[in-house]
Structure 1
Amino acid sequence: MDNKPVTLAIVGCGQRGKGYAEYALLAPTKCKVIAVVEPRPKTRKEVADAHGVDPSLVFATWKDFHSASTETIKTVGKRLVDAIVVAVQDNMHAEVVLAFSEQGYHMLCEKPMATTAEECVRMAAAVKKAGIIFGVGHVLRYSPYSKALYEVINSGSLGKLINIQHMEPIGYYHFAHSYVRGNWGKEENSCFSLMTKSCHDIDIICSWMSPAIPVRVSSFGSLQHFKKSEKPQTAGSATRCLDCPIANECPYSAKRIYLDPVANDFTGWPVSPLIDGVPDIENITMALKTGPYGRCVYETDNDVVDNQVVNLEFSNGATVSFTMVAFTSAICERQTRLHFSHGEIVGDMAKFTVTDFRPKPAKATMHRPPQDGGGHGGGDLGLISAFVKAVSTGKQGVLGTDIDEVLQSHLTVFAAEKSRREGKVIDVQDFGKDIKARCT
């Protein structure tokens, strides 16, 4: 491409879509949002106005946008935009990506890639057939912290990477918001929580171990707390937090999580997703009285697990243990220990310590990479900027990964969930072959 900004369509203007779109305002010479797709009218107008989108390129549904694109390709012989950011609900990813890959659009798809293994395989085949630039929202790879960590791992200065212990502390109120009351609380509406929350943890673990690949996996986990049997007796028969006698003391109280922050003029996440438009006391109160986010966490229909462990063996004999847990004060601040033949790295997403065992005494060095702003320690902006550059240069390699690697990490997550459900060790590569065979 020439030096003109890459033109983008944001398909889905929720928290993730808005976050990626922000890059166009920060780097207007690199990219420009010229099309917006969003069913909620106030949010649609807000994002379109922020980016100065022409009304003819503002759509309520992705199918409307697809139809307009079809007409433009047919009559003018060109696509409406250079690339699409797919940030719709998880269970819509496959149909959107498959539709627009046929039209030859480059795409950045929010994680997870899809909600079934078969859909992931079909998407990978479509991406390859179309020959497009394709990225997935595995933002952990793209933060300054992760890039600095990669440099140490890839340098080989600590010898062979033998073992990883990695933990995602989801956060008690984050889990209640997203995985109990929210869009990801019920598997049939989205997917299991290891996929929707932690697929990018499995992805980055696989990238640290590369070129070794995962060969065996076992996993255990369950829904321990967010169910009726765990409801405090003092809550009585209340099914909504605003009617609950213990609303001021329950850590999962919707009043504490949403209403109290708004009363103190806070309108960001997790308050902002509750309504279409700007949150205030009146409309947040109404949302809690009538909508899903006001429900008692012990009285919902959620069914995804709130704690899970995954054990992986790689082709070179290295091992990994990963823990995903809801009950933490830290919110998504991953804790990682990487054990090498001649040293170790201990990190927390903001800083990491590298210890070399060979000097006497062992030498420890602290690394504190700069925080570039944006979500996930700068990973959100890191990903969208890399994607825009990949589209601009026509080089998939700028993203540091490809569709085969993306598919492999997703199939590993599906294999881990199969292990959890069936109570047995799963051969990851055989599992992947079986899924691919079903899709041929």
Structure 2
Amino acid sequence: MGRCITVAIAGLGSRGRDTYAKAAKIFPEKMKIVAIADVDPEKVRLTAEEYDIPEEKCFSSAEEMLKQEKLADVMFIATQDRQHVGHAIPALRKGYHLLLEKPISPELDECRELVRVARECDRKVVVCHVLRYTPIYRKVKELLDAGKIGAVVSIMAVENVGWYHMAHSFVRGNWSNSNETSPMILQKCCHDMDLYLWLAGKKCDSLSSFGSTYLFKKEKAPEGCVMRCMDGCKAKETCPFDAEAIYLDNKAAGYRKGNRNWPLDVLVPDGVTEEKLYDAIREGRYGRCVYHCDNNVVDHQVVNLNMTDGTTMSFTMCGFTAEIARYAKFMGTEGEMIVNMAGEIEDNEIVIRRFNADVTEERIDVASLSDDFSGHGGGDVKMIEEFLDVLSGEKEESPYVTSLEQSMESHYCALAAEESRLHGGRVVELDTFRN
């Protein structure tokens, strides 16, 4: 067994505190949190108590933590999108390896500079494209690489964002405004761009894209709605995006339905109760009317990609879906493969139909692939474990670990798609972004 890796965490939001920090409890022999930083003192206090972090290793910002001498082997950077590179570069120069939340940056020059500094400092940087690590997509990769459906000619992929996830994260939440964070196609869908290029072993040559903010704007507001859901809104009873209905009564997310985790712990990080939820809805950003927020990211977008080998992919992201799920159909020279990854394991599937006289069908028992499908279908925990094993010397390398250079391809595609969308869907050559 390799040595235990010490970790400093910059950013204690939903990903930093509620996802990545938990690995220290799952793998206590592999990971120990020794320093933390966040601008929210309550999150710092709660995390320090939970992981026994001494006061002198608790900091009020990533910048304050980065003024210290090197505190750990690796830094997990889970701050806001436009802060990533500003925190990553000084961390690299202090000698930290990095686990970097995606996206790297919405600015290509910053992405390139980070790649240069990481090489100069000879540090490992893993970007959190967690879907590569999930049991279902690892199996898909194995099947495609084995030629199960021949050569992949076309991919049809859909990201079903989910209506209440759209309202929570991308209208009311932290990722609602691309001027403060990043475009939706990068922030949400660089996952998908990385995933499908990797699964099929493809590289994009050119693409075009269309999309807009169709619904979540004041001119689409129903009659009688007000600035906050709890302030006497006359559309409250019929509005699916009513904050009280989502956070209290929604079947998947609601407190009264037994949920105590995401998204409720975003509203109330210090122990979810009904009283605290009502306080957050009445006073905080998550109680605002979805038609009167400061959002500007798209709520739907399509991207058509032409690959360097002449094959194609169509990708759709949409916030108006009943479920939070990813669906893909791989069409090959000898068959097709349908892959569905949803929130409930019983809804996950891999179906293979090979071409012959009868078109035989094979179904993979997804449930048998793992005993843990929590956190992005089992990807969150596996990603951290793989990275820790590489850093500790337990593994030489991992075929799934997403390096900065690998992640850049997904960023080229996403940012080129946004460029195309903003210019009426014009075709964008990817080499203009790479170079």
Alignment-derived partner of residue 109 in structure 2: 118
| Residue type at the aligned position of 2:174 | N
Q: Could you give the per-residue CA deviations for residues 364-422 of structure 1, whole angstroms, max 9, x where no partner exists?
A: 11111335232110011121111111211284545444322211221111111111111
* Structure 1 residue corresponding to 2:260, chosen from 262, 267, 275: 267
Maintained 8 Å contact 1:8/1:81: yes
Maintained 8 Å contact 2:37/2:59: yes
Closer, same or farther in 2 for the Cα pair 1:373/1:22, shift >3 Å?
farther
Alignment-derived partner of residue 344 in structure 1: 336
Q: Does 1:180 align with 2:171?
A: yes
Maintained 8 Å contact 2:214/2:298: yes
| Residue type at the aligned position of 2:412 | L
Closer, same or farther in 2 for the Cα pair 1:297/1:31, shift >3 Å?
same
- Give the whole-Å Cα distance in 1 for the aligned partners of 2:371 and 2:130: 14
- SS of equivalent residue, structure 2 residue 90: helix
Q: Does 1:228 align with 2:226?
A: no
Unaligned 5+ residue runs, structure 2? 342-347
Maintained 8 Å contact 2:129/2:402: no
Unaligned 5+ residue runs, structure 1? 70-78, 434-440
* Structure 2 residue corresponding to 1:242, chosen from 226, 230, 234: 230
Alignment-derived partner of residue 257 in structure 1: 246
- Give the whole-Å Cα distance in 2 for the aligned partners of 1:97 and 1:399: 22
Q: Could you give the per-residue CA deviations for residues 75-95 of structure 1, whole angstroms, max 9, x where no partner exists?
A: xxxx32111111111111010
- Give the whole-Å Cα distance in 1 for the aligned partners of 2:391 and 2:423: 42
* Structure 2 residue corresponding to 1:365, chosen from 362, 366, 390: 362
Question: More displaced, 127-136 or 261-270?
Answer: 261-270
Deviation at 1:158, TM superposition (A): 2.0
* Structure 2 residue corresponding to 1:95, chosen from 86, 89, 107: 86
Maintained 8 Å contact 1:248/1:256: no
- SS of equivalent residue, structure 1 residue 388: helix
Alignment-derived partner of residue 325 in structure 1: 318
- Give the whole-Å Cα distance in 2 for the aligned partners of 1:300 and 1:97: 31
Aligned residues: CA RMSD: 1.7
| Residue type at the aligned position of 2:294 | D
Alignment-derived partner of residue 157 in structure 1: 148
Question: More displaced, 20-29 or 283-292?
Answer: 283-292
| Residue type at the aligned position of 2:212 | S
Alignment-derived partner of residue 413 in structure 2: 412
Deviation at 1:266, TM superposition (A): 3.4
Deviation at 1:131, TM superposition (A): 1.3
- Give the whole-Å Cα distance in 2 for the aligned partners of 1:46 and 1:301: 30
- Give the whole-Å Cα distance in 2 for the aligned partners of 1:302 and 1:53: 36
Give TM-score, length-normalised by structure 1.
0.91
* Structure 1 residue corresponding to 2:427, chosen from 425, 428, 437: 425
| Residue type at the aligned position of 2:336 | E
Alignment-derived partner of residue 67 in structure 1: 67
Give TM-score, length-normalised by structure 2.
0.92
Maintained 8 Å contact 1:386/1:398: no
* Structure 2 residue corresponding to 1:219, chosen from 209, 225, 231: 209
Moved over 6 A (4+): none
- Give the whole-Å Cα distance in 2 for the aligned partners of 1:374 and 1:64: 33
Alignment-derived partner of residue 291 in structure 1: 284
Across the two proteins, how many residue pairs are aligned to each other? 418
Deviation at 1:262, TM superposition (A): 3.4
Deviation at 1:181, TM superposition (A): 0.7
Deviation at 1:220, TM superposition (A): 0.5
Q: Pairwise mapping of residues 26-45 of structure 1 onto structure 2 (< 5 A)? A: 26-45=26-45
Which structure's residues are more often helix, by fraction?
Answer: 1
| Residue type at the aligned position of 1:407 | M
Alignment-derived partner of residue 436 in structure 1: none
Alignment-derived partner of residue 404 in structure 2: 403
Q: Could you give the per-residue CA deviations for residues 262-283 of structure 1, whole angstroms, max 9, x where no partner exists?
A: 3555332112112442232333
Deviation at 1:140, TM superposition (A): 0.8
